[in-house]
Amino acid sequence: MRINHVHERLIGELMDYARQKYPEIELGKITESPGSSNHIWVIIKGIDWNDDDKVMDFTEYLSGKQEDILVEYGYPISLMPIRMPA
């Protein structure tokens, strides 16, 4: 997957936006969605998967910003929290 400078900037904006409410998150890796090679997944570490409400809140909090990027730039980019092994 090729990431261009616009992708990098938008991923940075998403991370900055997410860290406003979730400063504990860390960037894992950047990959393509298994369902679409055009959809960028930004793997995020640091969300407590034992707290269902927090996972849902994180997803809902980012959905509007991700949708804005899709509409404005045409790039589907999603921050994807992952479960960390114990």
**What are the tens digits of pLDDT across the range 40-82?**
999 999 988 888 899 999 999 999 999 999 999 999 999 998 8
Q: In terms of C-beta density within 10 A (0-12 exposed, 13-18 middle, 19 or more buried), how is residue 41 classed?
A: buried
Q: In the prediction, which pLDDT does 85 show? A: 61
Fold type of domain 5-81: GMP Synthetase; Chain A, domain 3 (3.30.300)
Q: What is the DSSP string of 23-45?
A: TT-EEEEEEEETTEEEEEEEEEE
Q: In the prediction, which pLDDT does 49 show? A: 80
Distance CA 56, CA 30 (A): 21
Distance CA 75, CA 36 (A): 12
Q: What is the pLDDT of residues 14-37, one digit of tens each?
A: 999 999 999 999 999 999 999 998
Q: Per-residue pLDDT for 83 more than 80?
A: no
Q: Per-residue pLDDT for 10 more than 90?
A: yes
- Report domain extents, the chain: 5-81
